[in-house]
Amino acid sequence: MDQMYINLFSNFHGPTVQNLGSPYSLDSKGRVSSRGINFDSDLTVAYMLDPSVGLGLDLPFFYLPGKATTFELGDVGVKVFNKKLLSTPNFSLYGNVLVEAITNDYSRSLGQKLGVKTTPNFRYNIPKSRFAVGAWTEAKAYVGAQKGKAFKLWACPYLNYQLAPKLSAVLQYEIETDHMVNNGGLLNFTTYQSDIMPGVSYFITPHVMVNPYLQIFTNDRVAWDRTGLGALVSATL
């Protein structure tokens, strides 16, 4: 088991804070959508070639609890990653490359043949302080798509303040911009979503983390009725 790496990373998309009992999540502009609250998850099962480099499967899926509980498989991929692509006492950079097969009906309906993406992230602990800065990022090509997205750029920079050994305050800013299939010009991108996410992260164990947050949408108008409740969960074996 020392050479196995298993990680579950899940993003819970919840209801608006004005109606916490609602079974519906919010869309990219913060409006109540027809899609139910859901866990957007990735399960990574990999073999570690050395302590930092792994090769394995990425299994994305959606779990929608509610009146009609449903499970949706995403596009399954092969992943190679390096947990310490660059590492110093205060800085760490994680890098990877994924090649995805088209195993999801929605992706097939768009004519996709393949997905190619990378999701690097970095963190810098500011010396002699309780602050850290970092960012989660993603770039993805939707190879062969006849409609919808052709290319996606996503970033989520964050500021972290250590409140206690296991507890931090976190402020994140999320933005996604997409190059659509019918957009003219290679650099013609459209902003899909932007939001601010204040929250806290707590390590239940060294390998299990929860990060509840408020999702304040900003690409239309900022309002209490366009603020959602969410949470990140990460568990590693």
pLDDT digits (tens, 9 = 90+) for 177-192: 999 998 877 778 999 9
Question: CB–CB of 181/194 below 8 Å?
Answer: no
**3-state secondary structure at position 8:** strand
What are the residues facing 97 on neighbouring strands? 80
- Give the pLDDT mean for 215-233: 93
Non-local (6+) Cβ contacts of 88 within 8 A are: none
Q: Token match 């205060």: residue? A: 90
118 CA to centre of own chain? 12
One-letter identity of residue 89: P
Are 151 and 138 a contacting pair, CB within 8 Å? no
Q: What is the mean pLDDT of the chain?
A: 94
User: Terminus-to-terminus CA distance in the chain, angstroms?
Assistant: 9
131-143 and 149-164: which strand pairing? Answer: antiparallel
Sketch the domain layout of the chain as residue ranges.
4-236
Domain 4-236 has CATH 2.40.160.40: yes
Report the helix count and the strand count for the chain, using DSSP H and E: 1, 16
Asked if pLDDT for residue 148 goes beyond 80, the answer is yes
- DSSP-assigned beta bridge partners for residue 56: 46, 79
pLDDT band, very low/low/confident/very high, at 207 (cuts 50, 70, 90): very high
- 155-185 burial string, b = 16+ CB within 10 Å, else e? ebebebeeeeeeebebebbbbbebbbeeeee
CB distance 157 to 135 below 8 Å: yes
Q: List, as own/partner pairs, every contact residues 99-103 make where C-beta atoms lie below 8 angstroms and the sequence separation is at least 24, other chains included.
A: 100/58, 100/75, 100/76, 101/75, 101/76, 101/77, 102/75, 103/73, 103/74, 103/75, 103/76
The dihedral over CA atoms of 213, 216, 219, 225, expressed in degrees to the nearest 10, equals 140
For the stretch 37-94, pLDDT in tens is 999 999 999 999 999 999 999 999 999 987 667 899 999 999 999 999 999 999 999 9
At residue 109, the 3 state secondary structure works out as helix
pLDDT score, position 185: 76
Residue 237: which pLDDT band, with cuts at 50, 70 and 90? Answer: confident
